[in-house]
Amino acid sequence: MSTENTVVSATQLNIEKIRQDFPILHQEVNGRALVYLDNAATTQKPQVVINALTHYYQQDNANIHRGIHTLAERATAAFEETRQAIHQFINSNEPEEIVFTKGTTDGINLVAATFGRANVQEGDEIVISAMEHHSNIVPWQMLCEEKGANLKVIPVNNKGEVELEEYKKLLSERTKLVSVVYVSNSLGTINPVKEIIDLAHEYGAAVLIDGAQSTAYLDIDVQALNCDFYVFSGHKVFGPTGVGALYGKRRHLEKMPPYQGGGEMIRSVSFEKTTYNDIPYKFEAGTPNIADVVALKAAIEYINQIGKANMRAYEEELLAYAHQRLSEIPGIRMVGTAENKMNVISFVFDDIFHFDIGQMLDTRGIAVRTGHHCTEPLMNRLGVEGTVRASLAVYNTKEEIDQLTEGLHRIVTMMRK
Amino acid sequence: MTQSITETQNEIIEEFSLLDGDPEMTNFYIMELGQKLPPLDESQKTEDNIVKGCQSKVWLVPLWAEGKMKFEADSNSAITKGLVSLLVRVFQDQSPNDIIDADLFFIDKIGMNRFIGTQRSNGFAAMIKQVKLAALVNKEREAITRSNQK
């Protein structure tokens, strides 16, 4: 499959054909065709990913890196091919800089427990933003508590954008690590991560980028970004759940102490002295999630085949359409109106509880997310308890946006009677 | 004469049967029931009266008069308000003992779990627990009062 795609006009993407690749979309929920608009929570899986999982268990299943038999060879090769694919997908310097994890949360916790423990001392500072997911808040709070370090928070303006001027004021020689989200899961805001990274580096601080929402659609080049760590989840890039990747610069990964102890991560074990394996295996203790890692490659190839630029162009069109249609609904208030945003529309009605909207939409077969989206501090900052969030993927259509709009019209009319 | 907990439940089952299990109509009906619940005085919307374990805010206030219990309730969610109104209706003017012993068969009969989902079902279970706990407290209180009078 080629990764070289010329950008076609968004309307030239054959969305109906893309929809055919996702078997789950073709079902009824509560008597109506499913409208799946919860893609920021997890994306659906194309048939090629499902096939890769099935093929692995039907043909290749074996434990990796240890056996000398044919199946073990095949399984190991398939596993390592995914590492190679991710290396190219996010343009790391070498495949050894890619560590398999359970997902974004696991990747952040790994960095906190290893790089963090080794480099953050009493009085040091860690900087995050006010729009972080709980998984990019709590591990740092735990580390700060353990070390007597301080957590600093970059404020967010009313539109849901980080305030760069305030960020600059937070940086100092005490800053050891900056950890920010590339694209907000609650609002869709695309953060100026390149500027954030460069500014942090002026003070010698390392930077982790939470790529959970950005990896499927934005061109990720970790060398150009010059981030120190980049984490993402397989299940948000049309791949399986329970697998993700951590990118770390070689010099960091080599210096970092191991995370978990066990098989695979060692070079030799004796009761007197155990020595550790090279990167990335040093961080991959125990039998990994082989099948899901293998199938993740199929997801990456699927994205490459459609082309990120094509997907982005289509989604921008869809997002603009959704904004326009949803704005028609009386009393709707958009939450998160950043200049630079993608694939998420968060909204509230001041007179209707968000949870009720979500439940009523479900009765019409429309899947959205309601609540604080694991970003309670952000919700507090924006003065809402939670929002209704519709998040788009390449298989969504304008007709589905129409159904969401009609559904909302009916719900608010009935509920205001 | 107040109708029994069983009679009220049967009444609810009959009303819901008219909705043919249509999830949208059922939810609208639940909200309609909620609208009939008298609004709770703002002073009663305290932290103590909040039912723990619900995603939306639910206030449930047990009152006590002549061996019978009364309940007032409210919620910031229209659907939840409708759900709590069902409990208020079933348990209004019942004795603590009857409330403690009540088997809430209407929940399964109307297929509630199917149209409100797991999160709300858990919240609803928390409301029931709070009502039964209030009944238990009042039963004890009643027993103490009686023994003091002897």
Residue A399 pLDDT > 50: yes
CB A302: neighbour CB atoms within 10 A? 21
B108, part of any domain? yes
* pLDDT tens profile A176-198: 999 999 999 999 999 999 999 99
| pLDDT value at residue A4 | 46
Q: Where are the alpha helices (DSSP H) in A164-257?
A: 164-170, 193-202, 222-225, 250-255
A312 and A250 within one domain:
no
**Of A289, A304, A319, which residue is a domain's last?**
A304
- Tell if the CB–CB gap between B24 and A360 is shorter than 8 Å: yes
| pLDDT value at residue A60 | 96
Q: Are A229 and A111 in contact (CB under 8 A)?
A: yes
Residues of A serving a catalytic function are 374
| pLDDT value at residue A3 | 43
A182 and A146 within one domain:
yes
Residue B65 pLDDT > 80: no
Tokens of A284: 């991959």
Tokens of A253: 């990964």
A122 and A21 within one domain:
no
A54 and A31 within one domain:
no
A33, part of any domain? yes
* pLDDT tens profile B66-110: 789 999 999 999 999 999 999 999 999 999 999 999 999 999 999
| pLDDT value at residue B1 | 66
- Reported confidence tier of residue A1, pLDDT bands at 50, 70, 90: very low
Chain B: nearest CA to A124, how far in angstroms? 37
| pLDDT value at residue B144 | 85
- Tell if the CB–CB gap between B31 and A356 is shorter than 8 Å: yes
Q: Per-residue pLDDT averaged across B125-133, rounded? A: 92
DSSP string, A16-79: HHHHHT-GGGS-EETTEE-EE-BTTT-----HHHHHHHHHIIIII---TTT--SHHHHHHHHHH
Which residues of chain A have a CB within 8 Å of the CB of B80?
A: 353, 355-356
| pLDDT value at residue A18 | 97
Which residues of chain B have a CB within 8 Å of the CB of A360?
A: 24, 27, 79
- Tell if the CB–CB gap between B79 and A362 is shorter than 8 Å: no
A126, part of any domain? yes
What is the distance between the alpha carbons of residues A84 and A89, in angstroms, rounded to a whole number? 9
Chain A: nearest CA to B146, how far in angstroms? 45
A99 and A227 within one domain:
yes
Q: The CATH number of the domain where A394 resides is what?
A: 3.90.1150.10
Residues of B serving a catalytic function are 54
In the 8-state DSSP scheme, what is residue A236? Answer: G
* pLDDT tens profile A359-394: 999 999 999 999 999 999 999 999 999 999 999 999
Residue A75 pLDDT > 70: yes
Chain A: nearest CA to B101, how far in angstroms? 32
Q: The CATH number of the domain where B58 resides is what?
A: 3.90.1010.10
The domain total for chain A is 2
B31 → chain A, closest CA residue: A415
A403 and A262 within one domain:
no
Q: Who among B23, B55, B78 is closest to A415 (CB)?
A: B78
Chain B: nearest CA to A353, how far in angstroms? 5
A58 and A28 within one domain:
no
A1, part of any domain? no
B44, part of any domain? no
- Tell if the CB–CB gap between B27 and A363 is shorter than 8 Å: yes
Q: CA A105 → CA A121, A138, A210, A242, B66, distances in Å?
A: 23, 10, 9, 11, 56
Complex confidence, ipTM: 0.87
Q: Which of the residue ranges A47-61, A219-233, B7-21 would you say has the lowest mean pLDDT?
A: B7-21
In the 8-state DSSP scheme, what is residue A353? Answer: -
Q: Per-residue pLDDT averaged across B41-46, rounded? A: 92
* pLDDT tens profile A273-293: 999 999 999 999 999 999 999
Q: Who among B28, B116, B120 is closest to A414 (CB)?
A: B28
* pLDDT tens profile A400-412: 999 999 999 999 9
Print the domain residue range for A65: 50-304
Residue A2 pLDDT > 50: no
What is the distance between the alpha carbons of residues A214 and A236, in angstroms, rounded to a whole number? 9
| pLDDT value at residue B6 | 95
| pLDDT value at residue A25 | 98
A406, part of any domain? yes
A400, part of any domain? yes
Q: What proportions of chain A, in percent to the nearest 5, are helix, strand and coil?
A: 45, 20, 40
- Tell if the CB–CB gap between A353 and B76 is shorter than 8 Å: yes
| pLDDT value at residue A375 | 94
Q: Which of the residue ranges A87-96, A127-136, B105-114 would you say has the lowest mean pLDDT?
A: B105-114
* pLDDT tens profile A128-182: 999 999 999 999 999 999 999 999 999 999 999 999 999 999 999 999 999 999 9
A125 and A87 within one domain:
yes
Compare A318 and B122 and report the one with higher pLDDT: A318
A177, part of any domain? yes
A2, part of any domain? no
Which residues of chain A have a CB within 8 Å of the CB of B76?
A: 353
Side-chain half-sphere exposure of A155, counting CA atoms within 13 A: 8
- What is the Cα A186 distance to its own chain's centre? 12
Residue A303 pLDDT > 50: yes
Q: The CATH number of the domain where A257 resides is what?
A: 3.40.640.10
Query: What contacts A297, CB < 8 A, 6 or more positions away?
Result: A52, A78, A81, A82, A85
- In a 10 Å sphere around its CB, with 0-12 CB exposed, 13-18 middle and 19+ buried, how is residue A41 labelled? middle
What is the distance between the alpha carbons of residues A161 and A145, in angstroms, rounded to a whole number? 28
- Tell if the CB–CB gap between B28 and A352 is shorter than 8 Å: no
A25 and A54 within one domain:
no
B124, part of any domain? yes
* pLDDT tens profile A234-287: 999 999 999 999 999 999 999 999 999 888 888 899 999 999 999 999 999 999
Tokens of A255: 């210096």
- The mean pLDDT value of chain A amounts to 95
Query: What contacts A166, CB < 8 A, 6 or more positions away?
Result: A154, A155
| pLDDT value at residue A7 | 54
A349 → chain B, closest CA residue: B77
A3, part of any domain? no
A40 and A97 within one domain:
no
A286 and A157 within one domain:
yes
A81 and A133 within one domain:
yes
The domain total for chain B is 1
Q: Per-residue pLDDT averaged across A58-78, rounded? A: 93
Print the domain residue range for B93: 5-39+49-149
Cβ-Cβ contacts under 8 Å between A and B: the total is 38
Tokens of B1: 């004469």
Contact residues of A toward B, CB < 8 A:
30, 352-353, 355-356, 359-360, 362-364, 371, 414-415
Q: Who among B23, B31, B55 is closest to A355 (CB)?
A: B55
